[in-house]
Amino acid sequence: MAEDNEKESINRPFLGIWFDCCHTYGRLYKNKDGTAYVGRCPRCLRPVRVRIGGEGTNRRFFRGE
């Protein structure tokens, strides 16, 4: 069962984020609707949402404030 979860997370689209609030790295994963990348700071749990739009970018890593 654990192997299935690992395989699923490997294939799941994500954005890498450096959280300035806690000086830590985390990931935002694409929501089920495919409209945004969502997640939380791994330390303070501040929610983050990045909308997916037609004028997007190919960048995969960002810095959050």
Q: Is position 56 within any domain?
A: yes
Q: Is position 9 within any domain?
A: no
Q: Is position 2 within any domain?
A: no
Instruction: List all residues 6 or more positions away from 62 whose beta carbon is below 8 Å from its beta carbon.
Output: 15, 16, 17, 18, 50
Range of the domain at 31: 17-64
pTM for the structure as a whole? 0.74
Q: Which stretches within 1-65 are classed as H helix? A: 2-11
Q: Is position 39 within any domain?
A: yes
Q: Is position 6 within any domain?
A: no
Read off the pLDDT of residues 2-45 as tens digits, 9 standing for 90 and up.
Answer: 555 555 556 889 999 999 999 999 999 999 999 999 999 999 99
Q: Is position 5 within any domain?
A: no
Q: How many domains does the chain have?
A: 1
Q: Is position 29 within any domain?
A: yes
